[in-house]
Amino acid sequence: MSGPRGWSALQRHIADHPVEGSPEEMRAAFASLAPKGPDGRAETIGGVRCTVFGNDGPAPLLWAHGGGLVFGSPATHAALADRLAGVLNRPVILPDYRLAPEHPWPASLEDMLAVLDALPGTTDLGGDSAGGQLALLSALRRPGKAGRLILISPNTDRSGQSTTRQRNSARDAMNDDAQDLALARLSFGESVADHPDGSPLNADLSALPPVWITACTDEVLLDDTLLLIPALGRAGVPVQADIRQGLCHLWPLWPDALPDGAATFDALAAFAAAPG
């Protein structure tokens, strides 16, 4: 596996691969931006095409890839999923869920729920960015089905409570408020601010399982995490947070590029391995 090493190299790599244009152009650009990883194993679970990383075994982690619900795939997140499978010593399942705008909301959520419902017993759920939003909403839709919830910089608020969406737009190498909103509207429509699934921060969170969440200080979605943490606490949900300094949105997408990437996966693995 090759790719950028160090923060400066990662910043240059991101700048050289802008994700913009039509949905098709964004998909191609993000595929070029993302690191290369192993192919994984193709499986169909609950009628949904999935890619499974790591060894066969019990207690898989069901992971929703990020990409604004418009781009991204199991292939773009293969390096992340392979690292997850390694540190957890468990299979990691990535659904190839339907993308907007061809398949607007709730198509992506329906696919996630179909896979979750097909897995026996309780299942740990996770996701990054819009995938974190999908994982959070899946756990809310299926109380008691998720064993643990692992979130990397999830989208949680479209209601206007976040201040970092605008404040950090010039600092986040991977994301800005205008693009993030444009992607959300491709899935939820122009009235995303009024859509309850657009802001799971405001949902009844009391039935959620224990949550581990991470974000970084320079990213647009920082407040989406900082607002969710006390909301979980008020709802009585156990929560562990790991806030990283500097960096950019989705820094764990390149697990070998930065020391913070390795540290993030180690903290995540400790949470997932804890009893209960």
Q: What is the pTM of this model?
A: 0.97
Buried b (16+ CB within 10 A) or exposed e, 124-136: bbbbbbbbbbbbb
Q: Give, for 263, the enclosing helix (H) or strand (E).
A: helix 259-273
- Residue 5: its pLDDT value, please? 85
- Residue 228: its pLDDT value, please? 98
CB 93 within 8 A of CB 60: yes
Distance of CA 12 to the CA centre of its chain: 23
Q: What is the CA angle 223-221-23, rounded to 5? A: 155
Q: Where are the alpha helices (DSSP H) in 123-176?
A: 130-141, 164-167
CB 161 within 8 A of CB 227: yes
- Residue 1: its pLDDT value, please? 46
Instruction: Please report, in tens digits, the pLDDT of each residue of the chain (276 residues total).
Output: 457 889 999 999 999 999 999 999 999 999 999 999 999 999 999 999 999 999 888 899 999 999 999 999 999 999 999 999 999 999 999 999 999 999 999 999 999 999 999 999 999 999 999 999 999 999 999 999 999 999 999 999 999 999 999 999 999 999 999 999 999 999 999 999 999 999 999 999 999 999 999 999 999 999 999 999 999 999 999 999 999 999 999 999 999 899 999 999 999 999 998 876
Report how far apart the first and last C-alpha atoms of the chain are (Å, whole number).
34
- Residue 205: its pLDDT value, please? 98
- Strands, DSSP E only, in 162-238? 211-216
- Residue 40: its pLDDT value, please? 97
* Token pair in block for residue 273: 């391995």
Q: Domains plus CATH for the chain?
A: 7-273 (3.40.50.1820)
